[in-house]
Structure 1
């Protein structure tokens, strides 16, 4: 069972900041509506004191309710619409017809896991993957969520992808999506650690600022010398601190792109 918090706010910038803060506090799903933001967290992980601390500085009110998982899935399916990233790729549910005039068609079952392309960070990483050469490459998808990035990596020619997530629901969702997209080269692991000594040609990490800061050295160690690391789950204001941490790990930010106040960073070895 999940707990849903509905916060009244009509300020889009404020919503973006709240999503980042709530994600750091363990909330794992978000829905933006006109005049409000809904955030979801596993019921046994909900801490009202932490929520009050976050909202206190904004003087915002909220409404709380418990949502059975089956109702959550129905809610996602009812409102889920396909997402297109230019003519590069489309992310749709299985009950939608294929999106015309895109190079790569991805089917994702809309559940609680993060990563359907609707959020700016997922869209940015999908877009950032287009100029990267995946042909014959190895990939680490760190925090796979729905598995959408791993699926696209395989469609782009990656021969092996290690997809990691520490959330059981995400693992189940990703496994279904890998099967739906007929992926054969993805290894799915439930873990918060990178439990291998392998180095990868490409690392995809769409998580959040705190995890990226804590795991930067580990990600650097698993990136091949001429590899590429795409990082997102970051607000534009996070770029400076992330860049400084990357530099301390002998990584360099090659480029940054922004969408709706969120950014994706392309990082290489210094």
Structure 2
């Protein structure tokens, strides 16, 4: 009886509020999904050839781990990395909506896509750690998009999330338009293990979670902090990966 009532309520809700594309609002067949054009514009990276270190899409169909030229020139502070989407088209639209338009509802589908992208990175005993926000920015934005993504991905993966293991000790200016060196300089000393909760990372593999990776400067700072806390391995998982910079 309860199951039948739930089914009826679900049908009524869908009749009143039909499923819509999370990107453009067009009607779809299922909830929390994409319409055909937005799906094609997303360019999902699961199963594609990507750099094993930073997740950027690469041309070709080579088998086995490969690295982009950028990661060969500048080895990363983490061991492996993946992204769910390229930071363009649908991926860029959704990342910006989650971050700046209060579309916290997007965490549900985006976290599911992140969990799919994370499969090659999983290790026994792994914990998910979102990139931290400074408290002043969190006060203005009212949510940490990295934490929303990590919580939903962790639910799908069955992995614990440690939201306060890392601490952003000082506010930093927006890193979106600075060069690689400027971004690294802005983040120097800004992120550290939490004085108490950071100890939970000791001896454990860590999967850092963020919304967008551009130069990787923020993730470098987080990886350094996780290693300082004693993490046995650090890997990175992002919703969207920007194209390589010169």
Comparing both structures, which one devotes a greater share of its residues to strand? Answer: 1
Question: Would the TM-score normalized by the shorter structure come out above 0.5?
Answer: no
**Structure with the higher fraction of residues in helix conformation:** 2
